[in-house]
Amino acid sequence: MRKAIFPGSFDPVTLGHTEIVARATALFDEVIVAIGANSAKASFFTLDERLEMLRLSFADIPNVRVQAYSNLTVDFARDEGARFLLRGLRTGQDLDYERPIALINRHMDARLETVFFITSGEHSHISSTLVREVIRYGRDAAGLVPPQILPLIHTKQKGVAP
């Protein structure tokens, strides 16, 4: 069984992420969308909120699983029996950022292959960072995130003043 892990912060999940996952499900038997919970980054959405948004986004895709992990990504992949890591590339800047990470991961586990997906033009301007700004200032995130998570975002907007 070909298992792949799509690791990230998903703070929040966007249409860029869901595009990558949809394309990956055609190539792999199971795609585990995994939130790295030990990252040094402080998050805007809590871990539970991010997990819930991922579950809502992928509820209709049977070979997608949503999971949080707190160890190193390579160790999580090994424990899951996954040999592929998925990452998305929007720009050359993304490639510069991803290259050393992929090489270090391969150094730690030579069987682990990082597979890159180039985003379609339609989604290449979307980042979680920009979507957070839209949300923080009370604007509409429709067209940037999966429609299923909009109610959760509205709830968050009611509780967060800029």
Q: Which is nearer to ligand ADP, 96 or 161 (CB)?
A: 96
Q: Identify the residue among 23, 72, 78, 94 touching ligand ADP (CB under 6 A).
A: 94
Please tell me the number of Cα atoms within 13 Å of 89 on its side-chain side.
Answer: 14
8 binds ligand ADP (CB under 6 A): yes
Active-site positions read 17, 41, 90, 128
Q: Interaction with ligand ADP in 104-143: which residues (CB under 6 A)?
A: 119, 123, 126-128
E strand segments, the chain: 3-8, 30-36, 64-69, 84-89, 113-118
Q: Any bridge partners for residue 30, and if so which?
A: 3
Q: Interaction with ligand ADP in 9-68: which residues (CB under 6 A)?
A: 9-10, 14, 16-17, 20
Q: Which is nearer to ligand ADP, 102 or 150 (CB)?
A: 102
Least distance (Å) between residue 36 CB and ligand ADP = 7
73 binds ligand ADP (CB under 6 A): no
The DSSP code sequence of 60-124 is: T-TTEEEEEE-S-HHHHHHHHT--EEEEEE-SHHHHHHHHHHHHHHHHH-TT-EEEEEEPPGGGT
Please tell me the number of Cα atoms within 13 Å of 29 on its side-chain side.
Answer: 6
DSSP SS3 for 6: strand
Q: Which stretch binds ligand ADP (CB under 6 A): 2-10, 50-58, 71-79, 133-141?
A: 2-10
Q: List residues binding ligand ADP (CB under 6 A).
A: 8-10, 14, 16-17, 20, 87-88, 90, 94, 119, 123, 126-128
